[in-house]
Structure 1
Amino acid sequence: MLTKELKTKIVLSSSFDPWYNLALEEYLLDNVEEDEVILYLWQNANTVVIGSNQNTWKECRISEIEKNKGKIARRLSGGGAVFHDLGNLNFTFILSKQLYDLDKQLSVIINAVRKQGINAEFVGRNDIEVEGKKFSGNAFYFTDRTAYHHGTILIDVDISKLTDYLQVSEEKIVSKGIDSVQARVINLKNLNPNITIESMKESLKESFVEIYHSNCKEYLVEKDNPRLQELYSKYSSWNWIYGESPSFDIVFENKFSWGAIELCLSLKKAIIEKAVIYSDAMNNTLIARIADSIKGATFNIEEICSRLKTVNIDENEKIVLYDLCNWLESKKEYG
């Protein structure tokens, strides 16, 4: 139980560079105090941001992005690919794990949107919607000590770029019961023509103060901070954005209620030498643990499932391993 008085802080980024903004997000995550909650507000220009376990080559129309001088960035959290331009405002709650409270964090966003005369609600695994359409996708990341919850707020985004830049599978669209990505999302400007990025920022600041009952200060991080520069080098690197894309001997793909998965295996004398899993699942650390668990196994479905059952999981993760084992059981003709 925390006995110290809660500290709150608002950090505003002055940059529109996604690599800098994600570097700053991780820097704040590494340095947040035990009794502190940070609200970080930031914007990216002409950017596709993909989830930590996604395959850049499959998610993005890379040549289209490059032609329009856009950027591709990879975040730490799981989930799917999103498009950012300056009609979108990003938020991140950064705090210790013991202060993490998703309902409370979401209430800051929903309360701020209501201050703009728009009724919103949290729906499904990671969306905030109004009138059945999404204006905010959310994702989450946890370390041993800290956590962050971040998301988008679509205010006046060029929605046509969603289909120009993102390669969304037909299966994903059909599973939502809609005809296109554009039919699924909405700009808040369509509901309140007077809303702006600045007015939304002010509403978020007010809502944050009201819900956390604290007088918070706005805070700036010096751009020449050595650790921040080091993180920028990581986020802007080719290896981080694209990663290794080797050829694989076996590739299995499927879609589950918790996300899509692409299981890629390289074999040597029937032994799994390399296992890479691409996924838009929200639980990015579980996906990594699953991939690690099957390296070195004989390419035999029973042995793979046996390895999966040794992965340390909590109650919420059981469904993922259950679904994977049932699915792989149907592939027994392969091994």
Structure 2
Amino acid sequence: SVLQQYQQGAVLDFHRFTEPVVAILRSLGVPAELTGRNDILAGGRKISGNAQFFTAHKMFSHGTLLFDSRLEDVVEALNPKMSKITSKGLKSIRSRVANISEFLESPMGLEEFRDRLIEGLFAEQGEIRRHRFTAEEWRAIHDLAETKYSTWEWNFGSSPAFNVQKVHRFPIGEIDARIDVQKGVVQSVRFFGDFFGELDVSELERLLVGVRYEPDDLALRLEGAEVGRYFGGVTRDELVAFLY
């Protein structure tokens, strides 16, 4: 991560921030190259993604490095399952991924790799200056984390609008749910399918409008609702797990 004063020419100039990392990786035998706008690839596979945030006065450029991860878990996370999610505010291009450890000339652990990376980044300065947080600074950090960065409003309240489609076959038939979410809050829900229920499902659709799209909030909103009478025996917990 690089934090600096805002510079107009540096905005979205990922080459400036990734070039030192690419050089260090190459010195370790990794055939790294910056491709597109913000990805670092090795052997045609993605090992790093980079992003940038800036205000009128500050710039924050940061990137990830895939060193020795369980790639099956990464692929599982990147591939959609039964639900189809369409984001109106974000388009993501999936690339094949790889671990940096696959390309190293000499095997090394994560800590040694971290040290080599830090040494390379600070080579021109001649020394690595470290800052140890004081007790007062740690208190301020924890306070900021609790009052701002751990809040639902910060993590989900400003997220882009998106639509979710969930489809599952229950013993009573298939339920197809279409959910519209804006700023982390459900704006509309529609249920389709060949299920049978005693009650009009539109009542449940209206009940879910305005609730945060979170499991606990969905469960709380459905508390007292006779979910099984809408979906032929499906329980509240089963419906929440399905919707989320």
Q: How big is the shift at 1:127?
A: 0.6
Match of 2:155 among 232, 241, 244: 241
Answering whether residue 59 of structure 2 is matched by residue 150 of structure 1, we say no
Q: Does residue 122 in structure 1 map to residue 34 in structure 2?
A: yes
* Residues 164 and 102 (structure 1), Cα distance of their counterparts in 2 relative to 1, 3 Å cut: closer
- Tell me the CA shift for residue 167 of structure 1: 5.3
Identity %: 26
- Structure 1 contact 223–229 (Cα < 8 Å) conserved: no
Q: Which residue of 1 aligns with 2:98?
A: 186
Regions of 4+ moved over 6 Å: 169-172
Higher relative contact order (CA 8 A, sep 6+): 1
Give 1:188's aligned amino acid: I
How far apart are the structure 1 equivalents of 2:98 and 2:135? 34
Structure 1 residues 62-211: aligned runs within 5 Å: 92-98=1-7, 100=10, 102-166=14-78, 168=80, 184-192=96-104, 194-210=107-123
Whole-angstrom distance in 2 between the partners of 1:162 and 1:218: 33
TM-score (structure 2 length as normaliser): 0.52
For residues 163 and 117 of structure 1, do their structure 2 counterparts lie closer, same or farther at Cα, with a shift above 3 Å needed?
Answer: closer
Alpha-carbon distance in 2 for matches of 1:171, 1:245 = 16
Matches within 5 A, 1:263-282: none
Shift of 1:221: 2.6
Instruction: Compare CA radii of gyration and give the structure with the larger one.
Output: 2
- Cα distance in 2, alignment partners of residues 223 and 158 from structure 1: 36
Residue 206 of structure 1 aligns to a residue whose secondary structure is helix
Aligned partner letter, 2:154: W
Q: How do residues 25-44 of structure 1 correspond to structure 2 at under 5 angstroms?
A: none
Structure 2 runs not aligned, ≥5 long: 158-183, 190-244
1:231 aligns with 144
Following superposition, the deviation at residue 245 of structure 1 comes to 1.4
Report the residue type matching 1:228 in the other structure: I
Quick one: which amino acid aligns to residue 117 of structure 2?
L
What is the CA distance between 1:145 and its match in structure 2? 1.2
Give, in whole Å, the separation in 2 of the partners of 1:171 and 1:163: 19
Verify the 8 A CA contact 1:112 1:200 in the aligned structure 2.
Answer: no
CA contact (8 A) 2:14 2:50 kept: no
